[in-house]
Amino acid sequence: MAHIAFLAPPAVGHINPTLGLVAELGARGHRVSYLVGEEHAGRVERAGAQPVTYATTMPGSSDKPLTLQGFDVARGLLAGLRETRMLSEHLDEWFAENRPDLVVFDGLVAWWGRLLAYRHGIPAVPSWANFVSNDEWSLTDRYVKFPKLDPRLYWFILRMQRLAARDGLSVIELMDSLGRGVPGHLVFLPRSFQYAGDTFDDTFHFVGPCLRPRETGERWQPPSEAPVFLVSLGTRYHNQPGLFSTVMEAFADTEWHVVLVIGPDVDPAALGDVPANFEVRPSVPQLDVLEHAQLFLTHAGMGSVMEALHFGVPMIAVPQMGEQRANADRLEQLGLGRAVAPDAPDLAERLRAYAAELPADASVRKAVSAVQEEMQREGLAAAVDVVESAISEPVR
């Protein structure tokens, strides 16, 4: 059996989409290592991987989330540059002593995985937990707003060029995960959800979500026959007591059983009296709740969107940054949900209207079911095939 190494940035939205694949590869007898920030070691170990940990330099869950707008763009890029410079050296000895047969790395952020794999002559498969880009459609062109003048961007490109050149790569090969040593791309969404999906060639394998293994033990169950409405803004954008108060105002004493996930930073007391039909928690087993849900209010992170579609749940998207706006727009285009800005002046009224509309709309149910069925045709088996077929690919 092969030794397969996974590399991803220290973010749940980039790690979770790989964990179902990690578990299946381990079950098939492969040795799976996961090079990951220390705080996520338990997450990957529970999926069956051997964690190889390091102290990350990237922003953590307590830091201001990135918006990918204006001068914040450079902040995100420079964080990726620092991490790549550090890890491409720090992990080099591990690669030499524990040489994998294949590297699977996050194509959007984990540039250090691309560098290390190419340096050691190992084939590498970029994995994408978000939209991919080509000449026909680009997330950066459409949803990332660069500042008109920020010298840090020029400095970033110069440094990345030098970093790539040390190992014989161009900056395009490094940042776009193209060219030598990359036999194919693993995309954790269905082709129908990808913008301009039919313009990507057959080196892009749209396998859909490979859901992480669920925790053992007692599963979450709805407390009554009331329809379940999950409200969660993910792991990075949850500190929004004002939005949570609006949700409570909109759905207090309605027919819904509302599962409101407020994260670790919001004091429940700050929300006032909790309506009887609300279940307020800092966290929930999201897959368990979605399995029973009729509606999901989400920040529209791609992981959450894919999990909801896996269970056939329509969504109200309240995006917080550029990438999430792309996801929310796609939900609306495909008739899978509705989107609303978090600062909309009539937010409570619109949330109530969408909650009444979406579960009852036959066209929404049909659209969600079609994507759900497409996912079931691909998924984990297809992802394993991509990985196993790449192991013997030449690098240079």
Q: Which residue has the higher pLDDT, 396 or 246?
A: 246
| pLDDT at position 66 | 66
Residue 222 within any structural domain of the chain: no
Average pLDDT over residues 353-378: 97
Domain with 139 in it? 3-210+379-390
Residue 220 lies in a domain: no
DSSP code for 38: G
Q: Stretch 369-393: mean pLDDT, rounded?
A: 93
Residues 202 and 233 in one domain: no
The answer to whether the Cα torsion of 141, 331, 384, 90 is positive or negative is positive
Helix, strand, coil content of the chain in percent (nearest 5): 45, 15, 40
Write out pLDDT tens, residues 119-166.
999 999 999 999 999 999 998 888 877 766 678 888 888 899 999 999
Let me know whether 365 and 383 are in one domain. Answer: no
Question: Residue 347 in contact with residue 246, Cβ under 8 Å?
Answer: yes
As a whole number, mean pLDDT of residues 282-303 equals 97
Residue 37 lies in a domain: yes
The reply to whether 65 and 181 lie within a common domain is: yes
Are the beta carbons of 49 and 33 closer than 8 angstroms? yes
Q: Is residue 280 part of a domain?
A: yes
Span of 1-15, 47-61, 336-350 with lowest mean pLDDT: 47-61
Whether 261 and 243 map to the same domain: the answer is yes
What pLDDT, on the 0 to 100 scale, is given for residue 23?
Answer: 97
The CATH number of whichever domain residue 338 belongs to comes to: 3.40.50.2000
pLDDT at 32: 99
Examine the pLDDT at 50 and tell me if it is beyond 70: yes
- What mean pLDDT do residues 197-224 have? 89
Interatomic CA distance for residues 236 and 37, integer angstroms? 16
In a domain? residue 219? no
Residue 203 burial (CB count, 10 A): 11
Q: Give 148 or 191, the one with higher predicted confidence.
A: 191
Identify whether residues 49 and 110 lie together within a single domain. Answer: yes
pLDDT band at 74 (very low <50, low <70, confident <90, very high): confident
Least confident of 197-206, 207-216, 327-336: 207-216
Task: Name the amino acid, one letter, at 65.
Answer: P
**61 and 72 together in one domain:** yes
pLDDT for 218 equals: 75
Does residue 74 fall inside a structural domain?
A: yes
Q: Are residues 21 and 135 in the same domain?
A: yes
pTM: 0.92
Same domain, 24 and 152: yes
Average pLDDT, the chain: 92
- Residue-level pLDDT at 143: 85
58 is a domain residue: yes
Verify that 192 and 241 share a domain, yes or no: no
Looking at the fold, whether 340 and 194 belong to one and the same domain comes out as: no
pLDDT per residue over 163-190, tens digit each?
999 999 998 889 888 777 789 999 999 9
248 and 200 share a domain? no
What single DSSP character describes residue 342?
T
- pLDDT of res. 149: 65
Intra-chain end-to-end CA distance of the chain, in Å: 23
The answer as to whether 189 is a domain residue is yes
Q: Both 364 and 385 in a single domain?
A: no
Please compute the mean of the pLDDT values over residues 312-322 and round it to a whole number.
Answer: 96
- Percentage of residues of the chain with pLDDT beyond 70: 95
pLDDT of residue 203: 94
